[in-house]
């Protein structure tokens, strides 16, 4: 049944809040992720640069909106 369905998106785009019902999403620190990716590339190209660990875990945040059914 539609009332038993929850939908969750990813990346918390602007449209997620504007549509109806507003979409519950997972927000990621995209700017920090991009910066780390660039540092990894530079670390591989330039032997004089500081070494950056290739793998890194970034925090994510769930932004709860209307598309998530709350169990009572």
Which tens digit of pLDDT belongs to each residue from 26-54? 999 999 999 999 999 998 888 787 788 88
The pLDDT of residue 69 is above 80: no
The pLDDT of residue 64 is above 80: yes
Domain boundaries along the sequence of the chain:
2-63
Secondary structure (H, E, C), 7-65: CEEECCCHHHHHCCCCCEEEECCHHHHHHHHHHHHHHHHCCCCCCCCCCCCCCCEEECC
């Amino acid at each position: 049944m539609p009332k038993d369905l929850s939908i969750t998106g990813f990346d918390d785009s602007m449209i997620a809040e504007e549509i109806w019902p507003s979409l519950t999403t997972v927000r990621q620190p995209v700017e920090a992720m991009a910066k780390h990716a660039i540092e990894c590339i530079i670390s591989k190209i330039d032997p004089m640069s500081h070494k950056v660990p290739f793998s890194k875990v970034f925090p994510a945040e769930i932004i709860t909106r209307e598309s998530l059914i709350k169990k009572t």
